[in-house]
Structures are given as C-alpha cells and as structure tokens.
Amino acid sequence: MLLVEAPKVGRRILPCHTREKLDYLIEQAECVRDKAIISLFADSGLRLSELANVDPGDIDWNAHTIKVIGKGNKEGVAPFGPKTEALLRQWLAEYSPNGTLWDINAQGIKSMLTRLKKRTGLPCNAHTFRRTFATVLAKRGIDSLHIMRLGRWESISMVELYTRSVKVEDSLKFYRAIC
C-alpha cells in the first residue's frame, strides 16, 4: 500500500475591522444603543453573552472598565475608551434600565448585528469584533499575555488564533536593534 500525505490546507484568516470600518459601522447603526453596543464590542472584546448581561452597576466610570461574568461563570473586567464612554452615557441619558444595560437580550443583539451587516455589507458578529479587539491590540505592540488577560481568554494559543492576521510587517514596527 502506498502512503501519500494529504495536502496541507491553509488556515483561513477570519475577518476583523479597521478603525475606519468600525467608525462606519457605528455611524450606520440605527440608534445610540446600537452605536454603544458596537463601540463596546470593539473596545472591550466582550463575548455576546458578556455584553448582553451588563448591568449599569457593573460600569466603573473612573477605571473605564466593566465587570463581566464570562465563560465558566468567571468574573472579569473589560476595558472601554472615551468614545464608548460617551455613547454609554448618551444611551443612559435616554434610557433608564430596569435590569441589564440594554433593552434587548443576546438574540436581539444578534438580530441588530444581522441588520447592520445587510445594510453595510461588512461582517457584524461578536466574534468579528473580538478578533478586531485582539488584532488591533497586537498591531499596537501589546503582547499576547496582556491581550489574553484583557480579552479574558484562557490561553495564549487562543489569542494566537484570534490574531492570525497580524503580519511580520506589523511586528517589525516594534523591533529595536539589540546591538
């Protein structure tokens, strides 16, 4: 019997967004709530279930973090920036939550993202925003260990899967000669 090696199949690089695409998605969102959701997804790398279950009391405005319950019922914190803060504050000025921060559940968030994808033609799902979070941080020179902690991943190997689109040219920007 002749042994033949199977051909190697290249790993597909899944989509992530640039800053310009994120700005466009936020601009195209239907309302302040949806803009805040998209901005928070991108800024924090939250999973869909984590984002859907955020309560207003989970937000630490001074530290720019949100307390979340993630996979395996583990507590963590997710960061967010000034643009997300402004959108969250605007949403809370318009809406008084009675429970979670949003007036929709995880399925409602998925439906909103599906409508946005149809309108813009851009990938819109929690994993795309999570990959964007990891990839942007990696391209900024943040090491995998810090990305793992910020994104609440269990292992470096998961971060490496999410940051597969980072090229050597991106890494060379941070290289400093040793001698």
Residues 6+ away with beta carbon under 8 Å from 105: 52
Q: The pTM is what? A: 0.87
Distance, CA of 123 to CA of 131 (rounded, Å): 11
Q: How many residues does the chain have?
A: 179
Judge whether 91 and 33 are in contact, CB under 8 Å: yes
Torsion 52-66-23-47 (CA) sign: negative
Domain 19-129 fold? hpI Integrase; Chain A (1.10.443)
Distance, CA of 92 to CA of 106 (rounded, Å): 19
Domains of the chain, residue spans: 19-129
Q: What is the dihedral of CA 155, 156, 161, 166, to 10 degrees?
A: 160
Judge whether 131 and 14 are in contact, CB under 8 Å: yes
Question: What's residue 95's pLDDT?
Answer: 93
- Reading phi first (left if > 0) and then psi (alpha if -120 to 50, else beta), residue 153 is in beta
Question: What's residue 7's pLDDT?
Answer: 63
Per-residue pLDDT in tens (0 to 9) along the chain, 179 residues? 567 776 665 666 677 899 999 999 999 999 999 999 999 999 999 999 999 999 999 999 999 999 999 888 889 999 999 999 999 999 999 999 888 899 899 999 999 999 999 999 999 999 999 999 999 999 998 999 999 999 999 998 888 888 888 877 877 787 777 87
